[in-house]
């Protein structure tokens, strides 16, 4: 199968870790369920110990490390047997409630062997919706890092049900990376990266680099979900691409590879790297992940769409290009931006409320409804 020409054709090889290491300082390490779990569904303690040793080595190099770790349910499964008649949500809540304690205790014990402290941070989607709450959480993370404490982040599976659930911990890791303005997000999965087909199929090749202009993954990425996690490679691709659009490098690598973290940073191990786009402001990074917080929507005409999406131009959304408004919103609310057909184009921070926006609808020489600095456009606009 031929590679898309937008993919880099070769995998770079490095031999000197100290000289050639990638210059990342603040790193988010997301460890997937299939990395931390044995085939029988119980925790792989040897694997966790090996990963902790690698994280400790990164810390000793002066890097800041935030760990987004799955594995609470697997840890709970090793301690308690939930009756088979219990529904899936209840079972997950019980296993997570018991298992999260053991998971964090495991990390704490292993990190203590390296004279390091960790802290537990449990979150839900709701925690990212409110700007004030978002900033409070951001300050907490920064305080932990200043005190040389490693945050261990996981979804709060005890209370996360239905609409409060993340798609998977990849989504959570992307939110944390954006919140903390990380240099890189390293996603440890059970495969070497993104392939141009089913990784198990003959002839499938690893894609070492994915450029910011790439936006269609469904033609070659399998939709199969992981054995113990909720997500799949398609969701990883879309999340990784979105984070890379915000100026954060994203790598997907096999967490079961020996010494994967130092070898990844030394470019000595197979992986897929999503090339970062230009840097975005911290507020724009919050806006990019705030679809659930949107209070209303504006429909724009083709001229406004063309102006907003023109390459190399920084354009604000003006009332003259707005065709209609759905819902009500106030100044400072997140609003969705849709084209004439209803296709989502992006998100923005309203400069004024929907009442004033309606008064200025289609008028020229008006204050922008969404300023460029507070506008995030999705990567798949065509």
Distance (Å, whole) CA 15 – CA 231: 34
* Average pLDDT over all residues of the chain: 84
Q: Which residues make Cβ contacts (< 8 Å) with residue 230, sequence separation at least 6?
A: 165, 167, 168
Q: Is residue 161 part of a domain?
A: yes
Q: Is residue 382 part of a domain?
A: no
Q: Which residues make Cβ contacts (< 8 Å) with residue 161, sequence separation at least 6?
A: 89, 93
For the stretch 266-322, pLDDT in tens is 999 999 999 987 655 566 767 777 777 788 999 999 999 999 888 767 789 999 999
E strand or H helix at 349, and its extent?
strand 344-350
13: which 2 tokens? 């090889």
- pLDDT surpasses 60 at 5: no
114 and 137 together in one domain: yes
Q: How many domains does the chain have?
A: 2
Distance (Å, whole) CA 240 – CA 215: 11
30 in a labelled binding site: yes
For the stretch 72-129, pLDDT in tens is 888 888 888 877 777 777 888 888 889 899 999 999 999 999 999 999 999 888 787 7
Which one of 285, 306, 330 terminates a domain?
Answer: 285
CA 229 to chain centre: 15
128: which 2 tokens? 């990212």
Q: Is residue 358 part of a domain?
A: yes
332 and 352 together in one domain: yes
Q: What is the mean pLDDT of residues 154-174?
A: 77
Least confident residue range of 188-197, 200-209, 227-236, 287-296 = 227-236
Pairing, β 296-300 against β 26-31: unpaired
Distance (Å, whole) CA 78 – CA 38: 11
Q: Is residue 113 part of a domain?
A: yes
Q: What is the mean pLDDT of residues 238-243?
A: 86
E strand or H helix at 8, and its extent?
strand 7-8
Tell which residue, 118, 119, 136, has the closest CA to residue 127. Answer: 136
151 and 212 together in one domain: yes
Pairing, β 26-31 against β 184-189: parallel
* pLDDT greater at residue 279 or residue 363: 363
With beta carbons less than 8 A apart as the criterion, state whether 216 and 278 touch.
no
Beta strands in the chain (DSSP E): 7-8, 26-31, 64-69, 117-123, 149-155, 184-189, 209-210, 249-254, 272-274, 296-300, 322-327, 334-338, 344-350, 370-377
pTM (global) more than 0.85:
no
pLDDT at 266: 94
The distance in angstroms from the start CA to the end CA of the chain is 25
In this structure, how many other beta carbons lie within 10 angstroms of the beta carbon of residue 132? 7
* 168: CATH: 3.40.1160.10
208 and 333 together in one domain: no
* pLDDT greater at residue 250 or residue 200: 250
With tokens 């460029």, the residue in question is 372
Domain of 357?
A: 294-377
Q: Looking at residue 315, what DSSP letter applies? A: -
173 and 37 together in one domain: yes
* 306: CATH: 2.30.130.10
Q: Is residue 1 part of a domain?
A: no
85 and 171 together in one domain: yes
87 in a labelled binding site: no
Alpha-helix runs per DSSP H in 33-163: 33-36, 45-60, 72-77, 88-112, 131-146
Tell which residue, 194, 200, 190, 248, has the closest CA to residue 221. Answer: 194
For the stretch 11-61, pLDDT in tens is 333 333 343 479 999 999 999 989 999 888 888 999 999 999 999 999 999
Which one of 215, 250, 285 terminates a domain?
Answer: 285
Q: Is residue 195 part of a domain?
A: yes
233 and 280 together in one domain: yes
Q: Which residues make Cβ contacts (< 8 Å) with residue 372, sequence separation at least 6?
A: 314, 315, 316
* pLDDT greater at residue 373 or residue 263: 263
**Confidence band of 230 (pLDDT split at 50, 70, 90):** very low
359 and 234 together in one domain: no
For the stretch 329-355, pLDDT in tens is 998 889 999 999 999 999 999 999 999
Distance (Å, whole) CA 170 – CA 185: 10
With tokens 């204050």, the residue in question is 367
Distance (Å, whole) CA 72 – CA 36: 10
Least confident residue range of 194-198, 204-208, 331-335 = 194-198
277 and 201 together in one domain: yes
Which one of 244, 266, 285 terminates a domain?
Answer: 285
111 and 237 together in one domain: yes
264 and 310 together in one domain: no
Long-range contacts of 109-117 (CB under 8 A, 24+ apart): 110/48, 110/49, 110/52, 110/53, 111/52, 111/55, 111/56, 111/150, 114/52, 114/53, 114/56, 114/59, 114/60, 116/56, 116/59, 116/148, 116/150, 117/148, 117/149, 117/150
- pLDDT surpasses 50 at 227: no
181: which 2 tokens? 């303005």
**For the residues of 206-223, what is the DSSP string, one character each?**
B--EE-TT----TTTS--
265 and 341 together in one domain: no
Q: Is residue 167 part of a domain?
A: yes
């Amino acid at each position: 199968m031929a590679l898309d020409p937008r993919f880099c054709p070769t995998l770079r090889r490095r031999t000197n870790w100290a000289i050639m290491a990638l210059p990342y300082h603040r790193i988010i390490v997301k460890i997937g369920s299939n990395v931390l779990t044995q085939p029988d569904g119980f925790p792989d303690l040897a694997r966790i110990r090996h990963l902790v040793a690698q994280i400790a080595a990164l810390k000793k190099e002066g890097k800041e490390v935030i760990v987004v770790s799955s594995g609470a349910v697997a840890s709970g499964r090793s301690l308690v047997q939930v009756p088979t008649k219990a529904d899936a949500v209840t079972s997950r809540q019980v296993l997570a409630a018991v298992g999260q304690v053991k998971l964090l205790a495991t990390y704490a014990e292993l990190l203590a062997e390296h004279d390091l402290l960790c802290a537990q941070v449990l979150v839900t989607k709701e925690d990212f919706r409110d700007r004030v709450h978002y900033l409070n959480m951001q300050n907490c993370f920064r305080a932990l890092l200043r005190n040389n404490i490693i945050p261990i982040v996981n979804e709060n599976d005890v209370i996360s049900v239905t609409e409060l659930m993340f798609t998977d911990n990849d989504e959570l890791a992307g939110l944390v990376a954006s919140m903390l303005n990380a240099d890189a997000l390293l996603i440890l999965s059970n495969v070497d990266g993104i392939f141009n087909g089913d990784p198990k199929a003959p002839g499938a090749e690893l894609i070492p680099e994915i450029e910011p202009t790439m936006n269609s993954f469904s033609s070659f990425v399998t939709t199969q979900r992981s054995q113990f996690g909720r997500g799949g490679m398609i969701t990883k691709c879309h999340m990784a691409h979105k984070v890379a659009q915000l100026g954060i490098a994203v790598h997907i690598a096999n967490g079961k590879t020996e010494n994967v973290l130092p070898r990844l940073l030394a470019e000595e191990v197979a992986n897929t790297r999503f090339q970062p786009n230009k840097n975005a402001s911290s507020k724009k990074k919050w806006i990019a992940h705030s679809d659930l917080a949107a209070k209303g929507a504006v429909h724009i005409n083709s001229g406004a769409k063309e102006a907003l999406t023109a390459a190399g131009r920084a354009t604000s959304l003006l009332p003259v290009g707005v065709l209609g408004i759905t819902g009500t919103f106030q100044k400072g609310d997140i609003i969705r931006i849709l084209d004439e057909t209803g296709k989502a184009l992006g998100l923005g921070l309203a400069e004024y409320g929907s009442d004033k926006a309606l008064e200025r609808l289609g008028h020229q020489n008006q204050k922008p409804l969404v300023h460029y600095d507070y506008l995030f456009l999705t990567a798949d606009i065509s």
